[in-house]
A and B are shown apart, each in its own frame.
Chain A
């Protein structure tokens, strides 16, 4: 398998912040909005360097989404930022009508997605946002996996014309993708080639999949890891190419089993090429307080579970 040594851990939200800093310097149309979470979103540098292009919206997310939509009428590229819960489920109708249906060039950039938000508990741990966002026509949905990929995805989101939901997280995780990479929306990244099982992973689960791949390799199993950073539009071609080779699938996401990446892949398989699939996802449950590592273990979102599901799905190939 391809090895991914890493020397440091960083949070993906800081990757977003770094992307915004760069956009602040290179694209005068980029405007940032935030609902009272500037520190959490790591946009301090953008604000310091471009105070006139920052709009503090206070704890009023519905209004923030509408304001972002209005800013596009005037050529701005607004990034509306908050926690993922408050930038998706809390404001779904505002996103649906004023952004997606109106096809406005709004970037909804949200941090603290999923269980790894940790101690704040289930009220803040959104696990349904990918399902909500991928069901909206016109919406592009991105969930990058580390600091460098998040920075690149942020810059790509600004260059893309149309609504984007960009989701990232709170904890520090290994930085293992290339610095200053070019991020291609909708183009899956082949992390490591293999032949026995296709592991499709997004967000924080990509690193776990790499760990799982090493464990599987020691057991004599060759796993293919593909990073699906763009949930929508889904890179169906890359998925089918991999599954035609391996004949079985494990999907991995920090999200509910219902409606997320796994279901998007299952839909593709059902329409094109039937193959057994196992899900590494939260099984119809809310989260709870705890450290990120404790939660990922308790809810089965780690390398150990990926290994277990890989062995199970290989056995199902028949």
Chain B
């Protein structure tokens, strides 16, 4: 896919995010907007997933993901971007995005398998658990003799959870060279800048010391850099080490007044703010 096409998808996903969060006056727009480019890059360019269509023209969803690449969202609060990407990728009708965080919806506040939404393979929301699950899935793929890749996205604030470091030591120990971790370095969390709340210090040095092959994507909101970075990560696999991508992003990327602050971590826009945001985001694929 051309970069321009990916950028168009990202623009539509960003529109969906602000509309979804506005629609229920709840949710997390900041991190969702910041991670839009990488999740679009994964699902529309990098990942090998089953393209077979089934009932209603939607992608057939196989929980076991045999011979498919896998993605786990550990920082589940950025569910709006995940849901929008899954819908546009063809897992379910984008009209369903309107039900986000509403009663009787499959699009729960945080992703869950409980409502059987196609594309979701684990519940996440309570932070720090995704990388462990990704390790298990990567081990299963190795046991099954597959050559596929497992991706896991985490937040930088999430690095404060102890379980992340249990997982960080386990993946290199088991020489999981079919696993790519991605840390969204937006430098913000609910109570303020990550540096002030609880400094991560040098994540690159930490992961290197734990035995990961660490690489950086300097601008995680530049689609060209994202796609090139994901390709590079793939090339680094198969050499006895898992790969960790430090992905520098801007919380709120794409909506000027949501950028550069933790204020929009978990706040919904009002009607005026919604209009101002949508004016900055071209409708490329049609709103839900």
* Interfacial residues, chain A to chain B (CB-CB below 8 A): 31, 52-53, 55, 57-58, 60, 62-76, 78, 93-94, 96-98, 101-104
Contact = CB atoms under 8 A, between A and B. Distances in A.
Interface string B128-169: 111111111111110110000000000000000011001101
Contacts of B259: none
A66 B133 contact: yes
A54 to B, nearest CB: 11
| Chain A facing B: main interface SS | helix
B200 interface: no
B144 A63 contact: no
Contacts of A72: 136, 140
B114 interface: yes
A107 to B, nearest CB: 14
B140 A66 contact: no
Contacts of B112: 101-102
Interface residues of B, number: 39
A70 B135 contact: yes
A69 B64 contact: no
B113 interface: yes
B126 interface: yes
Interface stretch (B20-28, B78-86, B88-96, B116-124): B116-124
Contact of B132 (A53, A66, A74, A102): A66
Nearest to A62: B163
A67 B70 CA distance: 15
10 contacts: A62-B162, A63-B167, A66-B163, A67-B170, A70-B132, A73-B140, A75-B144, A93-B126, A94-B163, A96-B126
Given A94-B129, A97-B129, A101-B123, A70 B166 contact: no
Per CB-CB distance, the 10 closest pairs between chain A and chain B, nearest first, are: A70-B136, A66-B132, A74-B140, A63-B166, A60-B166, A67-B136, A70-B133, A70-B137, A71-B136, A62-B163
Nearest to A103: B113
A52 B141 CA distance: 13
Nearest to B168: A63
